[in-house]
A and B are shown apart, each in its own frame.
Chain A
């Protein structure tokens, strides 16, 4: 992990937004499903695809030539982090970056901005199309790094992988290999959709073919940081509650003490993932469904291995197009959110709530590592021309966490809502008439 020269001045930040709501706790629902009609209740309460617990102990644990026979026919062994030589069947494990570069240590001593070599700024004149001379026969091989990182020489059949860290953002520091197999991903997507069929768009159900899921390595920056935060606001504690008036004019009143509240917090974060593709980092749910891919974070990035293009054989990839400077505002935003969440238990005594009015952040040090993370992605383009959404169902290629956006049949949904509303209103009218 080397300290690098500072990046050039960033362009004006037009950064992507992110959903403002704090996501609900898993399983939380604002309406008790037991009060809903049985078919709807069955859909809502059906089990989600099971995700592997990343806290499991076994999870707390490249050259494209086979080290034994020299063959370039190297692939990832399905379902493992091992590389296997297709020619001589020799298997080996690539070096984990966590230990190799000491990424899990020294968070308390972080100072300044440390940027790994694969996370350096993208050169302005860099291109996605890269040509190489085949080391096997000398022929020219072109690789479009926008979508893939490996190619086969048409003449001598050597498999060619982009391993050198050219400054176009295509080659990261590390890669986290797929562990969830395609069959497993298909089953999870099917299970996810099966509990969302009743009000799904008819065309979506007819064209649903989860076997078309694609394995994609998406680019992320994995950030370690050391920061201090300060928040200032007002909190209220209820001192008395009483009623005035009588009969129909009975009203409840409250007395409260008002406090000026200040909190300070020093903290470190380990392996915070940020999308380093401007397209994927745009989480505007009115325009796209990228929040689905964002939701399946985090990954067990501690198990990431040193970059080796052989892991990408048979998979697609997307190229990084954002630098550290572009992502810093989003990092600050997330660090402030983390600080606000961490100080929340310290203001529990303010039972009438707290209104934070000011907040400050001091980032003492950060460490940035560029990484490809594995995602199984099923996509469906909703019909309807301009403005229609591309819906994703995504499976975390390591933990199996599954999330998706299923397009709805609006008239069906409206009909169900109006029917339930009409029944409830009829009951309400009956009660009003009965008691008046």
Chain B
């Protein structure tokens, strides 16, 4: 193991496994991450999804493996609202 990065990675394995096991067991007992999965447990009838895709840029030689602030699967993270619902009860 001549790679400095590899040595650091190996030395970090101990603390990381301790934290990881604590976190895993804590969530197994306390279930703080659980809630009603209404996204997949509610009866939803959808019309076909419509939309558009336009190429706007190219990235060359980035070292990032993902897009910044990827929230494709973070369905409950709210982003800027373009309009408030006008039919909300007064």
Main secondary structure of the interface of A (DSSP, over half): mixed
Nearest CB on A from B89, distance (A): 5
Find chain A residues with CB under 8 A from B15 CB. Answer: 421, 425
Nearest CB on A from B22, distance (A): 4
Neighbour of A268 across the interface among B44, B61, B75, CB < 8 A:
B44
Neighbour of A256 across the interface among B62, B75, B79, CB < 8 A:
B62
Residue-wise, chain A 322-353 has the 8 Å CB interface mask toward B (1 for contact) of: 00110010001110111011111011001011
Interface size for B (C-beta < 8 A) is: 81
**Interface residues in A274-306 (C-beta closer than 8 Å to B):** 283, 285, 289, 291-292, 294-298
A337-B76, A413-B25 known; A258+B58 contact, CB < 8 A: yes
Find chain B residues with CB under 8 A from A361 CB. Answer: 81, 83, 85
A350 touches B80 (CB 8 A): no
A358 touches B66 (CB 8 A): no
Question: A82 an interface residue at 8 Å Cβ cutoff?
Answer: no
Residue-wise, chain A 401-433 has the 8 Å CB interface mask toward B (1 for contact) of: 001111110000110111011101110110110
B77 touches A343 (CB 8 A): no
**Interface residues in B62-81 (C-beta closer than 8 Å to A):** 62-81
B18 touches A420 (CB 8 A): yes
Nearest CB on A from B33, distance (A): 6
Nearest CB on A from B70, distance (A): 3
Top-8 shortest CB links A-B: A425-B14, A421-B18, A353-B70, A360-B82, A258-B57, A417-B22, A263-B51, A341-B39
27 CB-based A-B contacts, threshold 8 Å: A7-B89, A10-B89, A19-B34, A22-B39, A22-B74, A239-B58, A251-B63, A253-B62, A253-B63, A256-B62, A262-B51, A264-B50, A264-B51, A271-B42, A296-B36, A342-B49, A344-B72, A344-B75, A346-B49, A352-B65, A355-B67, A407-B29, A418-B18, A420-B17, A421-B14, A421-B17, A431-B10
